[in-house]
Structure 1
Amino acid sequence: MNAPRTRVQRRPVHGVLLLDKPLGWSSNDILQKVKWLLRAEKAGHTGTLDPLASGVLPLCFGAATKFSQLQLEAEKTYEAIARLGQTTTTADAEGEVVRERAVDLAAITPERLAAVQAQFTGDIQQVPPMHSALKKDGKALYEYARAGVEVERPARNVTIHALELTLTQDDQAYPAIKMRVSCSKGTYIRTLGEDVGEALGFGAHLRFLRRVETGGIDVSRCVTLQALEAMSEEDRLAQVLPAQALLHRHAVVTLSEEDARRFLSGMRRRGTWPDAKAVAVYGERPQALLGVGRVEQGELIPERLLSPLEIQQILEGTPQ
């Protein structure tokens, strides 16, 4: 007879944990695992990483989930390796090989690499891969792909802020291109690797992908799942940064006690603040994050607000 499972006692946790996502985990699976480790009531991630990808994955808890969209919109930096000479059904190592071509290394000169690098830097268009979570008629593209159906996908505009291409070898010593990419949201690195391979004349598919930075958060600041699991519960909670860790690029506005109360009720406030599209708003007494907004012509306009209960829990010692 199986022993009854012990029910995890959840608790309010408010803040963001910077995780170095391991290979083989989906973003949601790793979120649920860390949520369980922290015994947190509410959690959300800031944009998915494929199971074959590792790297920066900020995980939001409690009040911080209100700001997760900021990371979805943020510029991201990846390091990737694309094997030359093979294209696959998924543009990565999970797919079946659909075409093979011999790779002429002598043709991949520094000048040729520089030309392809320039071709894919700046505003470009990408056709989203069939194996993606984008939806058509309410159904994810990967569902069509698994059924063997290919649907038309309009090209989308994305921005490659910086691109470095280097000739290298993959983990099996095949010719490959190493890419370091800083890009806008919505960029598919699998597609970029495939397109770079086609531009070089040999085709390619992704063998390695690691997100090394997102929205100013570098992977060097992240904790691994293995390290987190080995910690005591107290040390795990100490890894949770305050929600404002996601707001480091926001302007700061501090309100008096009366203005803070009105702001939290959703009312606009007037002041001498300069215009700003993104503002982190704090209360003066007590000193606490109230939410985010924007300033237009001296008017502070609320956008995402913490609840009084969330503020109280944070002030009472929920991880900061």
Structure 2
Amino acid sequence: MRRGPSAVNALIAVDKPLGLSSHDVVNRVRRAVGERRVGHAGTLDPDASGVLVVGIGQATKLLGLLVLDRKGYRARIEFGSATDTDDAQGEVIERAEVAPELLDAEYAAGQVAHLVGETDQIPPAYSAISVSGKRAYALAREGKEVKLKSRRVTIHAARLVCVEGGRDGEPIVWTCDFDVSKGTYIRSIARDLGRSLGTCAHLCGLVRTSAGGIGLADCVGLDELTEKGAVLVSERGLDPVAALGLAARAVKVGEVADIACGRKIPMGIVTCGALSREPKPRESVALVWDHALVGIWERRGLELACSVNFPQAIEGVR
């Protein structure tokens, strides 16, 4: 593992497999590319799969800046039983009858559609939320009562995909697609949906389909990454400017030394998609040199001032 300058500085999206924690993925990426500085944005539980954004080298500094306020999920919700974790990994703590109309796809679609909007949601007791300096899941595992405050979340979209089960004693399961705000727990949606329908429910499957503008189509498989390493990162790495959602400002040859020293430069013209314009007052701007991100600067007056520079440029700007 490298301890000096990183040979790889990039963002990459991994399709996290079932059974691995997000930290397990980080360790696999470290070994695959030979770099110690690796981190992830937006934890996924071991029993969930899908989009996990990983930063390598200098790109670890971007993980807290990424525009991942909305996330997409495909969820499987099983009715008739509740668990202490609100998912299939927990112990069953309640069973209840399930009304036959829950098998009706039209009825189910209407109930799912009614979930759209802002709501107050209580997170699961088994969550990573800090309670008096300790993780809620740790307190729950110790058998202590965990009381978490409700939080305001937004369900931007909710759609029924299909209804399954209901025969020969099989549980009724709804598969649904959700587009939700950051911090929304799909486990809580499943739990609360069961209660609202006069029964109980838990989450029995989850795939994160998107994080911000990053989807499953942008992801690489972990086995392929293990095989190809840094070559695959170079080929399939994310565009850091697009991931940040920033306008880009091309660096001129004569500005390289000033930028390296953190000296202010003229605000210039930025591009945002197909549009070119002046940066707005106090707007953060991505500085791009040779298809790589070298800094994030801010307009102050008629100049750009350094917010953060990257001693090693982050590759992948398209």
**Post-superposition CA distance 1:264-301 (Å, at most 9, x none):** 44444443623174432224xx5642222444665534
Q: Does 1:193 align with 2:199?
A: no
One-letter code aligned to 2:77: A
Residue 47 of structure 1 contacts residue 72 of structure 1 at CA under 8 Å; is this kept in 2?
Answer: no
Q: Does 1:274 align with 2:272?
A: no
Residue 83 of structure 1 contacts residue 205 of structure 1 at CA under 8 Å; is this kept in 2?
Answer: yes
Q: SS at the partner of 1:206?
A: strand
Q: Does 1:17 align with 2:22?
A: no
1:91 positional shift: 0.3
Correspondence for 1:162: 157
Correspondence for 2:216: 219
Q: SS at the partner of 1:70?
A: coil
Residue 83 of structure 1 contacts residue 169 of structure 1 at CA under 8 Å; is this kept in 2?
Answer: no
Correspondence for 2:246: 250
Q: 1:239 to 1:173 in 2, by over 3 A?
A: farther
1:251 positional shift: 1.2
1:224 positional shift: 1.4
Q: Where do residues 230-249 of structure 1 align in structure 2 (5 Å cutoff)?
A: 231-233=227-229, 235-239=231-235, 241=237, 244=240, 247=243, 249=245
Return 117-126 or 104-113, whichever deviates more. Answer: 104-113
Return 213-222 or 24-33, whichever deviates more. Answer: 213-222
Q: 1:22 to 1:245 in 2, by over 3 A?
A: farther
**Post-superposition CA distance 1:93-114 (Å, at most 9, x none):** 0111111111122256566545
Q: 1:262 to 1:157 in 2, by over 3 A?
A: farther
Correspondence for 2:136: 141
Give the distance between the partners of 1:271 and 1:197, measured in 2 at CA: 54
Aligned residues: 304
One-letter code aligned to 1:279: V
Q: Does 1:306 align with 2:301?
A: no
Q: Does 1:130 align with 2:139?
A: no
Correspondence for 1:68: 63
Give the distance between the partners of 1:281 and 1:189, measured in 2 at CA: 37
**Identical pairs, percent:** 32
Residue 102 of structure 2 contacts residue 108 of structure 2 at CA under 8 Å; is this kept in 1?
Answer: no
Residue 8 of structure 2 contacts residue 35 of structure 2 at CA under 8 Å; is this kept in 1?
Answer: yes
One-letter code aligned to 1:156: R
One-letter code aligned to 2:288: Y
Correspondence for 1:83: 78
How well do the aligned residues superpose, as a CA RMSD in angstroms? 3.0
1:187 positional shift: 0.8
**Post-superposition CA distance 1:4-24 (Å, at most 9, x none):** xxxx56752111222110001
One-letter code aligned to 2:179: S
TM-score by length of 2: 0.84
Q: 1:91 to 1:277 in 2, by over 3 A?
A: farther
Q: 1:253 to 1:18 in 2, by over 3 A?
A: same
One-letter code aligned to 2:247: A
1:184 positional shift: 1.2
Give the distance between the partners of 1:131 and 1:17, measured in 2 at CA: 29
1:319 positional shift: 12
Correspondence for 2:275: none
Residue 274 of structure 1 contacts residue 297 of structure 1 at CA under 8 Å; is this kept in 2?
Answer: no
Q: Does 1:292 align with 2:296?
A: yes
Q: 1:67 to 1:9 in 2, by over 3 A?
A: closer
Q: SS at the partner of 1:306?
A: strand
One-letter code aligned to 2:294: L
Q: SS at the partner of 1:91?
A: coil
Any stretches of 5+ residues in structure 2 without a counterpart? 269-277
